[in-house]
A = this chain, B = another copy of it.
Amino acid sequence: MPRVSHIVVDWGTSSFRLWALDRAGAVLGERRSAQGLAASAAEGFEAVLEAHLEALAIPEGVPVMMCGMVGSRAGWVEAAYVATPAGLDGLTEKAAHVPSARRLIRILPGLAQRGAEGADVMRGEETQLLPLLRDGFEGLACLPGTHSKWVRVEAGAVGGFATFMTGELFHLLRSASILAPAVEGAAAVDPGSDAFAQGVQDGLAEPDMLGNRLFRLRAAWLLEGVAPETALARLSGLLLGAELAGAARFGGRGPVALIASGPAASLYQVALALAGIASVTTHDAEACVRAGLHAAAVSAFRLERISA
């Protein structure tokens, strides 16, 4: 691949995604694996990265821009958090330098919020936001996930944000709680189901009753034999509805830029509509992180000069 200009990597707690890009950001090759933080720390971060580069026949000297938990304290090299409010330029300038004899390697920092809105952190999502910042978006960005982020974007910068543990609560409750038998065997949540919609509406209307409505999923299973798919959709809806109730307190009612991929995108689209948020645009999360990494790479590596 002679036209490869730079490599971008999204390296998280449980996954590794790498793309080889040309100068315009077009994808020339990619690698995906489950080599998250723990696995990679044992094997050696550089060994993991170089093995993937070798598989794509990427020569020495091609620079690498990364983001995600690889820049955390437990990662390769710590990229210290940048404080909010934070714009596009600050992130690239503060990228951590990773020592390597083979190539330039940078890790973008995460964002930290302190002060009146409360301590909060993100690492990886800030890179997904870069294309929005560049394009002049103003409003709320919603990034669903294990720890969903709601971000206030104003004047080309991240003004503030709030993380909700929705995805992790869903995982804990479905797999390790007394609700597990009631949802056992259910594969996925149907975003079009009545059960999901009812859950969202209940969570939105009475977030203070969440702890009770969760237990009632078990009671409905015991007393009424509710099907696992129905119980799982209610569980998902309840947690998502409660998150949207909190997000409304955090950042009002829109416009919302939904940055999501796969099933999460459909679920949040349905839930945002039920919450009465009229203006929602959906952006593919993977395309966003790749575009954000590309913009950072162009800025950091002054690609024109390198490839000249």
Listed in ascending order, the chain A residues whose CB lies under 8 Å from chain B are 81, 112-114, 118-121, 147, 162-166, 168-169, 172-173, 176-178, 206-216, 218-220, 222-224, 239, 242-243, 245-246, 248-250
Contacts and interface: CB of A to CB of B under 8 A. Distances in A.
- Most B C-beta atoms less than 10 A away, residue of A81, A168, A172, A250: A168
* Copies in the assembly, this chain: 2
A133 B11 CA distance: 60
A211 B119 contact: no
B178 A222 contact: no
B211 A208 contact: no
Given A147-B178, A168-B178, A178-B147, A212 B250 contact: yes
B121 A219 contact: yes
Given A211-B239, A249-B206, A219 B119 contact: yes
Contacts of A162: 209, 212
A74 to B, nearest CB: 10
Contacts of A178: 147, 165, 168
A95 B180 CA distance: 29
A285 to B, nearest CB: 19
B250 A119 contact: no
A178 B145 CA distance: 14
Given A222-B121, A249-B208, A215 B177 contact: no
A163 B239 CA distance: 17
Contact of A114 (B119, B208, B223, B243): B223
Given A119-B223, A121-B222, A163-B219, A212 B172 contact: no
B165 A214 contact: yes
A210 B250 contact: no
A224 B172 contact: no
A172 B164 CA distance: 16
